[in-house]
């Protein structure tokens, strides 16, 4: 009964509101007045109101640079001397950020000076943390001073929800070597400060740039052990809180790499193994979050190189869900390459890594990083596709591999090639004709055809049959594309040109002659003649040389009959690229 009566009262109120439309309007007026009273009662209310008026003018998008600077100067005049009092408010923080973003060096330095002594607190604020990041990025002259304010609190800030991103961006994106050392110093512990001289001196800067290695080399005996223990404990503190997100930051990866490097300088091999085992046990579950940075990649590669068969299996299990994404990252893919180079259990790598990489060929071939990941399966460390610096980086684990792996490197590479070949050749058979029209895709197709192991007949047929398809505005003929034309020429020649040999270096797993004979069986006469008269003269020349170099056969005679005197005359009159070379080769056939 009471519920029914309550419902009747509500209905009466609704009806009365409908009858009196001014009631709702008056209610809104009262609410606005109350809100304004509350705002006026807050500290610096008049200052904020005036600042917002100036900010609206400075924040406009469609104004000139000169006009914006006038508004910025006016805005700075309003908040000067009160920046630290208002910056923690979310709306006022945006006002100060606008000055830092659009203002000049004078305004930025003035804001930075007023906030001196408050940066740790600002970095932990949901709103003002963005201002700290902007000042670190846009005020290089003040950056070291800002970062010094985090000294003694770095580890706690890295585990703080808001401040973590501020420190991570400062370390990875903006800081120089000395400024990074200021952030890393907390990982080394309080005793590390005994090894530095007066703050700000050149001596401190030089020693700091050396990082933990400089401190470790300067210490002896028990002091070395204490330094190692402190660094390890601080790393474990971060690693034991993976939910905080700090384990994915480059600053943590640098500290971890410094620790592993110091382990290698320990004289006792048994102690080395013990220390490496302890830190591996602490981070093996989060290794996939480290592979994207330079130092993180080094850490994971170090664990793979030194690890036991069980350790390596655990690492593979951890990174397996991320293989395709790792293939697209410059640093992460080095982890995959090291695993392929080092792990003796090729059945494990074939199932967990190779299959995933090869199966993703359709998406990987479109980017330089993805192409390298595919090419490493069939042509690892080739100078054609890997820069000297990348090859040197990968070679860093070779010495360790010689001690921790039993299988011969050539045997391991052949087994990886064999595991990848069927999937890659099937991909070429299904998609090679279209993929080869892309500049990067043609490189991948070429290397797979030359260096993969297995039956290549289906892939060869797919590439050759594509030559018979007439061109259109939407789909140009393969031979009209320089990179695709070069692909067919290289397959007919049998390999890449070697500067050292001064000749073509035959690919051991490829038969150029079989490809030439199949060319004669699948490609129409009219198509071949059109190629010879036009942009495919070099391709037909390679075909001619391949047929001429072998024994007399039906395909050779057929080719000779295609190119009678009238056709040769047309080729000569076309005067296209390669026509003269082709005519000379035709003479060798008689």
Tokens matching residue 43: 């500290």
CA–CA distance, 448 with 484 (Å, rounded to integer): 14
CA–CA distance, 422 with 444 (Å, rounded to integer): 15
Residue 3: what pLDDT?
47
Residues 75-107 pLDDT 10s: 999 999 889 888 887 778 889 999 999 999 999
Can you list the residues of the chain whose pLDDT is less than 70? 1-25, 30, 33-44, 193-210, 590
Model's pTM, two decimal places? 0.88
CB 383 within 8 A of CB 446: no
CA–CA distance, 386 with 377 (Å, rounded to integer): 13
DSSP three-state, residue 496: strand
CA–CA distance, 581 with 385 (Å, rounded to integer): 29
Q: Please, what is the end-to-end C-alpha distance for the chain in angstroms?
A: 114
Residue 220: what pLDDT?
83
Query: Residues 153, 157, 163, 164: is their CA dihedral positive or negative?
Result: positive
CB 93 within 8 A of CB 130: yes
DSSP 8-state code for residue 541: H
Residue 449: what pLDDT?
98
Tokens matching residue 381: 């460390």
Please give the full DSSP string across 32-48, using - where no structure is assigned. HHHHHHHHHHSTTHHHH
Residue 574: what pLDDT?
86
Residue 46: what pLDDT?
80
Unique residue bearing structure tokens 């203002």: 103
CA–CA distance, 301 with 323 (Å, rounded to integer): 15
User: What residues does 506 pair with on adjacent strands?
Assistant: 495
The beta strands (E) that lie in 61-124 are given as none
CA–CA distance, 386 with 334 (Å, rounded to integer): 11
Tokens matching residue 458: 């289906």
The HSE-up count of residue 357 (CA atoms within 13 Å, CB side) is: 30
Residue 319: what pLDDT?
97
Residues 356-405 pLDDT 10s: 999 999 999 999 999 999 999 999 999 999 999 999 999 999 999 999 99
SS3 content of the chain, % helix, strand, coil (to 5): 75, 0, 25
The HSE-up count of residue 249 (CA atoms within 13 Å, CB side) is: 32
CA–CA distance, 534 with 480 (Å, rounded to integer): 9
Unique residue bearing structure tokens 């320089």: 482
């Amino acid at each position: 009964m009471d519920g029914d009566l309550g419902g009747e009262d509500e209905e009466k109120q609704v009806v009365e509101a409908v009858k009196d439309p001014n009631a709702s309007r008056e209610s809104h007026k009262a609410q606005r007045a109350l809100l304004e009273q509350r705002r006026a009662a807050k500290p610096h209310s008049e200052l904020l109101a005036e600042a917002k008026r100036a900010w609206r003018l400075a924040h406009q998008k469609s104004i000139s640079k000169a006009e914006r600077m006038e508004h910025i100067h006016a805005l700075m005049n309003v908040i000067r001397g009160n920046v630290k009092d208002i910056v923690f408010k979310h709306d006022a923080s945006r006002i100060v950020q606008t000055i830092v973003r659009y203002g000049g060096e004078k305004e930025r330095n003035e804001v930075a000076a007023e906030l001196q002594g408050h940066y740790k607190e600002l970095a932990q604020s949901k709103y003002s943390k963005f201002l700290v990041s902007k000042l670190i990025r846009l005020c290089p002259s003040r950056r070291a001073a800002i970062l010094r304010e985090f000294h003694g609190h770095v580890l706690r800030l890295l585990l703080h929800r808001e401040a973590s991103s501020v420190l991570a961006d400062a370390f990875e994106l903006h800081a120089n070597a000395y400024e990074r050392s200021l952030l890393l110093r907390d990982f080394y512990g309080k005793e590390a400060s005994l090894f530095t001289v007066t703050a700000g001196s050149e001596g401190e800067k030089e020693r700091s740039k050396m990082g933990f290695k400089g401190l470790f080399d300067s210490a002896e005996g028990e002091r070395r052990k204490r330094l190692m223990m402190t660094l390890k404990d601080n790393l474990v503190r971060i690693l034991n809180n993976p939910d905080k997100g700090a384990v994915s930051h480059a600053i943590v990866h640098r500290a971890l790499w410094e620790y592993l490097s110091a382990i290698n300088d320990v004289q006792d091999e048994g102690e080395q193994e013990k220390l490496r085992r302890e830190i591996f046990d602490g981070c093996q579950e989060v290794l996939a979050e480290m592979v994207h940075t330079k130092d993180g990649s080094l850490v994971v590669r170090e664990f793979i190189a030194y690890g036991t068969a069980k350790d390596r299996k655990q690492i593979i299990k951890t990174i397996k869900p991320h293989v395709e994404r790792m293939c697209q990252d410059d640093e992460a893919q080095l982890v995959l390459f090291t695993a392929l180079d080092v792990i003796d259990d090729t059945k494990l790598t074939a199932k967990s890594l190779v299959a995933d990489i090869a199966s993703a060929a359709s998406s990987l071939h479109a980017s330089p990083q993805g192409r390298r990941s595919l090419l490493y399966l069939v042509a690892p460390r080739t100078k054609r596709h890997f820069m000297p610096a990348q090859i040197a980086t990968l070679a860093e684990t070779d010495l360790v591999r010689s001690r921790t792996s039993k299988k011969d490197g050539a045997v391991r590479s052949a087994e990886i090639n064999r595991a990848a070949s069927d999937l890659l050749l099937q991909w070429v058979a299904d998609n090679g004709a279209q993929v080869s029209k892309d500049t990067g895709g043609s490189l991948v197709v070429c290397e797979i055809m030359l260096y993969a192991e297995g039956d290549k007949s289906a892939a060869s047929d797919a590439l050759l049959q594509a030559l018979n398809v007439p061109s259109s505005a939407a789909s140009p003929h393969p031979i009209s594309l320089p990179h695709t034309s070069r692909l067919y020429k290289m397959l007919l020649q049998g390999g890449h040109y070697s500067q050292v040999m001064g000749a073509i270096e035959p690919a051991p797993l490829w038969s150029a002659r079989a490809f030439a004979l199949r060319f004669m069986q699948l490609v129409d006469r009219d198509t071949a003649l059109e190629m010879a008269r036009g942009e495919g003269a070099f391709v037909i020349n390679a075909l001619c040389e391949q047929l001429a170099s072998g024994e007399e056969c039906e395909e050779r005679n057929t080719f000779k009959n295609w190119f009678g005197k009238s056709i040769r005359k047309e080729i000569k009159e076309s005067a296209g690229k390669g026509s003269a070379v082709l005519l000379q080769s035709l003479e060798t056939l008689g």
